[in-house]
Amino acid sequence: MHKIYQDKGKYNILFQIPKILYSTLISVLISSLIKNLALSQDKIVELKQEKSKNNFEEKYNKILKIFRIKIILFFVLAFIILPFCWYYITSFCGIYVNTQIHLIKDTIISLIASLIYPFALNLIPGIFRISALRIEKPSRKCLYKFSSFLQTIA
């Protein structure tokens, strides 16, 4: 707030970049937590690969129980986080009326950054895989494993 006052209301993007990066990282962490709760395709694939009928029934019941817990946690967290964020932003904009434009600009920049960075993160493993397909056999396997490792990180 003081920096905005010192700059006489002008938008200083160099000062805002670290804050935008922090908010993007926090949103990535929260997003990965929510994705972990919401997405469960690995368990479904594991269930499809089950051969014996007895183990299938047992795994099905276990996975169904885990799905129910995940769904309940997902909705509980969503209904806790959304009102908290709404209240915080409303209170902030109500108290600091002159900083609303700065908040909107920061939000838009952070949104654009969070939409662009997945392309970069997913493009890098793809580049290594393409190069692994084009080069000679001895180092092909190493590059492919490295691209798989990068994919799990992203």
- Taking only the tens place, the pLDDT of each residue in 101-146 is 878 887 888 788 778 878 877 888 888 888 888 877 777 778 788 8
pTM for this model (two decimals): 0.57
Q: What is the pLDDT of residue 33?
A: 76
- What value does the mean pLDDT take over residues 81-102? 86
Please tell me the distance from the alpha carbon of residue 27 to that of residue 89, in angstroms, as a whole number: 15
Please tell me the distance from the alpha carbon of residue 116 to that of residue 100, in angstroms, as a whole number: 24
Residues near 90 by beta carbon (within 8 Å), at least 6 away in sequence: none
> Residues in the chain, how many?
154
Residue 148 one-letter amino acid: S
Question: pLDDT grade, residue 87 (50/70/90)?
Answer: very high
Please tell me the distance from the alpha carbon of residue 103 to that of residue 109, in angstroms, as a whole number: 10
- Taking only the tens place, the pLDDT of each residue in 30-86 is 777 777 777 777 777 777 777 777 778 888 888 889 888 888 888 888 888 889 988
